[in-house]
Amino acid sequence: MSGADVELVLRSTRVVTPDGTRPAAVAVADGRIDAVLPYDAEVPAGARLEDFGDDVLLPGIVDTHVHVNDPGRTEWEGFHTATRAAAAGGITTLLDMPLNSLPPTTTVGHLRTKQRVAAPKAHIDTGFWGGAIPSNVKDLRPLHEAGVFGFKCFLSPSGVEEFPELDQEQLARSMAEIAGFGGLLIVHAEDPHHLADAPQRGGPAYADFLASRPRDAENTAIEALIAHARRLNARVHVLHLSSSDALPVIAAAKREGVRVTVESCPHFLTLTAEEVPDGATEFKCCPPIREAANQDALWEGLADGTIDCIVSDHSPCTTDLKTPDFASAWGGISSLQLGLPAIWTEARRRGHSLDDVARWMSAAPAELAGLTRKGAVEAGRDADFAVLAPDDTFTVDPAELLHRNQVTAYAGKTLHGVVKSTWLRGVRIAAEGAVGEPTGRLLERNH
């Protein structure tokens, strides 16, 4: 153990560490994990013991894809409600996406505005992605130096006019600029020409919506992205992968040494096109939820490491924007509070362990963002934990969710895994779904 005074020991018969799950006692000093000790290690004098019995001690979930929309569209969500829901769901760190707030995070001034708004409201540790739009190449390096974790861009319309997409030439220019200072470009990869060529029938039928966002749009955009990354030796990340057809291309690029990583989301991994009722636009997102066979292939991609991480892409809106017409309804799925149990429910059914879930939802997203203090139950990391009763079940009642708008595609689902408590830097911030005062810190890259 280090010289610091251990103030707290957390004990469980199932502690999920990078080396596997085992009985252990986790000593906490000054908000950090001081040591991971044998289960029956003596509790230092003056330290408090919390014994979770057989409940699982997981590293706090790291969600690098959240649309908080604050300031500007706070009727959709906000830092208070989003981070409160996250805390209740076992998440201890989130990174906010640069769009759907007003202003978007496309200049240092805008970043400062968002940080000022977030600081008093954050229940969990919170950082920011910057945005790459056609007009802000000159702002990318200053944003990087101001502490954003990387830059998001779109290749097709984003849905909001203040965040335009990049064409291929603009993509190459922004990517070269970002690669020049060693930054990371994260990409919504759907090709606008394939989308324009797809049938746009509109209306309440999910099959028509699915046909309007074909797999080819994703596959083509990802191939082009990989080609740029290879040529520029740039580091890129594919956001919210839905099309499993793109997996072989991604796997080949990784083998070849192209610096590409990939995320997918709970809705692609646990919901299927076949089950979406007509008019149920709480299931609408872009790219879309696809067929069950596609989902099986995505799980294979997770298992073989082609897909690195699972993040929520929590993208809420008010109920009135979820009209029954799939063409005009706002796209985005709310799942911040439910990601861990949703993924665990499907993972266990498919024979995966909580070690896998911790890697996909905590270690890998932390690594993506360079959050070296987050993502593992290991000495030296922040004492961030989710305590999970993995065999307990609950049925999702939207009215009980802490998001601002209780619209969710998971309504009525029975899920495995109840989050009993959440710990941030050694302090319990949520217990049995009740969340205390905001004590989250703002995070900057490499801090």
Binding-site ranges for Zn ion (CB under 5 A)? 313
Q: Which is nearer to Zn ion, 218 or 313 (CB)?
A: 313
Strands 260-264 and 309-310: parallel
Q: Which is nearer to Zn ion, 133 or 354 (CB)?
A: 133
Q: What is the DSSP letter of 398?
A: G
Q: Going by C-beta distance under 8 Å and a sequence separation of 6 or more, which residues neighbour residue 64?
A: 94, 95, 149, 263, 309, 311, 365, 368, 369
Please state the closest distance from residue 73 (CB atom) to Zn ion, in A: 14
Please state the closest distance from residue 313 (CB atom) to Zn ion, in A: 4
Please give the single-letter amino acid code of residue 53.
G
| Residue 250 CA: distances (Å) to CA of 148, 152, 159, 263 | 26, 19, 27, 12
Is residue 6 within 8 Å of 47, Cβ to Cβ? yes
Q: Which is nearer to Zn ion, 32 or 152 (CB)?
A: 152
Closest residue to Zn ion, Cβ-based?
313
Q: Which is nearer to Zn ion, 65 or 381 (CB)?
A: 65
Please state the closest distance from residue 286 (CB atom) to Zn ion, in A: 9
Please state the closest distance from residue 188 (CB atom) to Zn ion, in A: 7
Q: Which is nearer to Zn ion, 129 or 299 (CB)?
A: 129
Is residue 236 within 8 Å of 186, Cβ to Cβ? yes
Phi, psi of 216 (to 5 degrees): -55, -30
Q: In the beta sheet, which residues pair with residue 419?
A: 388
Please state the closest distance from residue 65 (CB atom) to Zn ion, in A: 6
Is residue 184 within 8 Å of 123, Cβ to Cβ? no
Residue 400 has which token pair? Answer: 């009980």
Q: In the beta sheet, which residues pair with residue 435?
A: 430
Q: Going by C-beta distance under 8 Å and a sequence separation of 6 or more, which residues neighbour residue 349?
A: none
Number of Cβ within 10 Å of residue 278's Cβ equals 14
Please state the closest distance from residue 170 (CB atom) to Zn ion, in A: 20
Is residue 195 within 8 Å of 156, Cβ to Cβ? yes
* Rounded Cα distance, 308 and 262, in Å: 5
Q: Which is nearer to Zn ion, 139 or 313 (CB)?
A: 313
Q: Which is nearer to Zn ion, 90 or 287 (CB)?
A: 287
Please state the closest distance from residue 13 (CB atom) to Zn ion, in A: 37
Please state the closest distance from residue 36 (CB atom) to Zn ion, in A: 34
Q: Which is nearer to Zn ion, 34 or 263 (CB)?
A: 263
